[in-house]
Amino acid sequence: MAPRMHVVATAGHVDHGKSTLVRALTGMEPDRLTEERRRGLTIELGYAWTTLPSGERVAFVDVPGHERFLGTMLAGVGPVPAVMFVVAADEGWMPQSEEHLVALRTLGVRHGLLAVTRADLADPASVLEDARDRLVKAGLGEVEALAVSGRTGQGLDGLRAALDRLVAALPAPDPRAPVRLWIDRAFSVRGSGTVVTGTLPAGRVEVGDELELDGEPVRVRALESLKEHVESVTGVARVALNLRGRIAPQRGHALVTPGAWTATSLADVRVTMAEGARGPLPARLTAHIGSASVPCEVRPLGAEAEGAAARLRLSRPLPLHLGDTLLLRDPGRGQDELRVLARATVLDVRPPELRRRGAARERAKALADASADAASLLRTHLLLRDGELAAMGCPPEGRPVAAGWHADPDHWSELSTRLPEVVRRYAADHPLEPGMPVEAARHELGLPDRRLVTALVRPPLTVADGRITTTGRVVAGTAGLPAPVARAVRALLDDLATAPFQAPDAGRLAALGLGPRELAAAVRAGALLRVAEGVVLAPGADARAAALLARLPKPFTVSQARSALGTSRRVAVPLLEHLDRRGLTERVDEVHRRCRPAG
């Protein structure tokens, strides 16, 4: 089995020997810029790697320690699971040591070790004890602490062994996780085109994969990891990707698995103030996640408090999941002021609009008990599809209610209760219609998909021909008709009882109050038989007519049929055509017909 790769970032005050230590461990120069080497000051992110005694490989992301480059430091630490914190024995804990530690705590970094450098220049004992206590209190656990010297090599073997133990304890990333690769470098190579680099925290990238960058598709043309060409790589890993696509990537952009993330510029979050920071938060801050650094507006939703809810409006969309952590920083603060102010934990990446007075307070209450799961999302959004939940970072729990839709249980129960009442009201308001159209019910219930309506139908409701009816409502006779229509139909049937084939004319129908809608309702109810437009008879009149016509000599004419039935040509012609359609009679020629044998 090939050795795994691990990625560790450095952290610590400027000029405490981070780059020197990385150089001594790897034999590589992490400072890439001529200006950095001339000044002896790390300005940009540096990258170097080595093989540990166990055979595992570790790549270092070396970050600047100067307070002016805190944003660059955060871009390097953001996607990395572990940190090597560096403090100089001859200077001890310094302002940027504290700021870096606050940033690590705020980002939720929980794995690391302590290297006290320049142990050849001063006794490291007191610095070791002080710095280790600070890291433990910051949540990094029982970190190993070692005294080393990058200049003389003192303690480097022990540091390599400690790094081996550190990376062995890191949680294994999920190779099936959706890809979100935050870009920390982007450049062009002659003959190859666009190349980007970054730390892949989880998932798998292969040559030929199609990813998305700011919603645009890009394809992976080639892939390198630690300067080696590879066909695929799984997180955690340092990677370089040669991309094909209409793109202009830069640091802070992310390559993502299509459809697996929600690109949003609006997010509801739970704000936790950083150690030493005091509220209220300024209205405008910079949000950091991965290598991204994005100006944002902060709107508190409730009372200012620890764990208070807020809404972030980002200056550009970022691919986010529920549970993501953003660091909120005030870059405008002075050197002596704490600039890392808070952690923002994402609770909703598609928050509802706040239109009514008091809506913000109500939203804050709803978010107070929110968690990063599908059930919490559904309490807010009520209905979400499989893909929407996955893109929000919450794979669906349980079976969908219909066609990939998941519902909040309370909301679904309420809809089930409302539908029969909605159908009843529609029937009362539209008594001549055979039932409520499914589309009308969808609109009345405010549902996004007709299939949700049909999934709600339970006896005594039923769906047929795109309409919802109550079982037994449409029956033969007049039981299902409004009282005035039923009375008119009974009067008409009385007329037909003595002259069954003398269909009433338009005047008689109008006198009875049977217009087109009323007649259509009576026909649907089985109370009348329509043989043609404006020609109605009693139910079963067609079978009775066929029986009478069967007594005529074969074949017979329309005139003979008219006489046998005791009716007019106005009724006889469409009635015979109706009998033809039913297969009770058939044409012999242009003039004659005959009855077809039974069966």
Work out the widest C-alpha separation in the chain, in whole angstroms: 129
432: left (phi over 0), alpha (psi -120 to 50) or beta: alpha
Q: Which of 230, 226, 229, 313 is nearest to 269 (CA)?
A: 313
**Rounded Cα–Cα distance for residues 329 and 322 (Å):** 21
Question: Is the alpha carbon torsion for 202, 207, 210, 213 positive or negative?
Answer: positive
CATH tag, 5-169: 3.40.50.300
* Range among 36-40, 329-333, 336-340, 434-438 with highest mean pLDDT value: 434-438
Q: Are 10 and 88 in contact (CB under 8 A)?
A: no
CATH tag, 180-256: 2.40.30.10
Q: Are 269 and 356 in contact (CB under 8 A)?
A: no
CATH tag, 262-398: 2.40.30.10
What phi and psi values does residue 21 have, to the nearest 5 degrees?
-65, -45
Q: Which of 64, 131, 65 is nearest to 92 (CA)?
A: 131
pLDDT at 479 over 70: no
pLDDT at 4 over 80: no
Q: What CATH architecture applies to the domain 410-470?
A: Orthogonal Bundle (1.10)
Radius of gyration of the chain from Cα atoms? 39
SS (H, E, C) 489-505: HHHHHHHHHHCCCCCCC
Exposure b/e, 332-349, CB count within 10 A at least 16 = b: eeeeeebbbbbbbbbbbb
pLDDT at 476 over 50: no
In this prediction the pTM is 0.77
269-303 confidence digits (pLDDT tens): 999 988 878 778 899 999 999 999 999 999 999 77
CATH of 540-598, one of 1.10.10.10, 3.30.499.10, 3.40.50.1820, 3.60.15.10: 1.10.10.10
Least confident among 67-71, 296-300, 422-426, 524-528: 67-71
Q: Is the peptide bond before 555 cis (omega within 30 degrees of 0)?
A: yes
Say if 180-256 and 262-398 have the same CATH topology. Answer: yes
Mean pLDDT of the 52-76 span: 84
pLDDT class of 123 with cuts at 50, 70, 90: very high
The domain segmentation of the chain, as residue ranges, is: 5-169, 180-256, 262-398, 410-470, 540-598
141-189 confidence digits (pLDDT tens): 788 999 999 899 999 999 999 999 999 999 989 999 999 999 999 998 8
pLDDT class of 517 with cuts at 50, 70, 90: confident
**Rounded Cα–Cα distance for residues 453 and 438 (Å):** 7
In the block, tokens 């799984």 appear at 234
pLDDT class of 35 with cuts at 50, 70, 90: low
SS3 50: strand
Contacts of 483 (CB under 8 A, 6+ apart): none
